[in-house]
Amino acid sequence: MSPHWKRPPLPEETFTDRFGEGEGELLTLAYPKPLPMRLDRWLVSQRTEQSRARIQKFIDAGYVRVNGKTGKAKTPLRQGDEVQLWMPPPEPLPYLKPEPMDLDVLFEDDHLIVLNKPAGLTVHPAPGNKDGTLVNGLLHHCPDLPGISGKLRPGIVHRLDKDTTGCIVIAKSQEALVRLQVQIQKRIASREYFAVVHGVPDGDSGTIVGAIGRHPADRKKYAVVSSENGRYACTHWTLVERLGDYSLLRFKLDTGRTHQIRVHCAHMNHPVVGDPTYSRCRKLPIELPGQALHAVQLGLDHPITRERMVFEAPLPPVMEKLLGVLRRRAASG
pLDDT of residue 5: 36
CATH hierarchy code of domain 12-87: 3.10.290.10
Is the Cβ–Cβ distance between 323 and 317 less than 8 Å?
Answer: no
Is the Cβ–Cβ distance between 120 and 137 less than 8 Å?
Answer: no
pLDDT of residue 217: 81
Q: Which of 124, 109, 42, 29 is nearest to 75 (CA)?
A: 42
Locate the domains of the chain by residue range. 12-87, 105-332
pLDDT of residue 35: 92
Is the Cβ–Cβ distance between 49 and 178 less than 8 Å?
Answer: yes
pLDDT of residue 200: 96
Q: Can you list the positions of beta strands (E) in the chain?
A: 25-30, 37-38, 64-66, 69-70, 76-77, 82-87, 105-108, 112-117, 165-171, 190-198, 205-209, 212-214, 222-224, 234-243, 246-253, 293-301, 308-312
Using the Cα atoms of residue 176, residue 180, residue 181 and residue 186 in order, give the sign of their dihedral: positive
Q: Give me the CATH topology for the region 105-332.
A: Pseudouridine synthase (3.30.2350)
Q: Active-site residue numbers?
A: 161
Going from the first residue of the chain to its last (333 residues), give the mean pLDDT of each consecutive group of 10, the final group possibly shorter: 38 40 75 91 75 83 92 93 83 75 96 96 79 91 70 82 96 90 92 97 96 84 88 96 97 94 97 95 89 98 97 98 96 84
pLDDT of residue 148: 57
Note the pLDDT tens digit of each residue in 93-146: 567 889 999 999 999 999 999 999 999 999 988 766 778 899 999 999 988 775
pLDDT of residue 91: 59
DSSP, collapsed to helix, strand or coil, labels residue 331 as helix
pLDDT of residue 302: 98
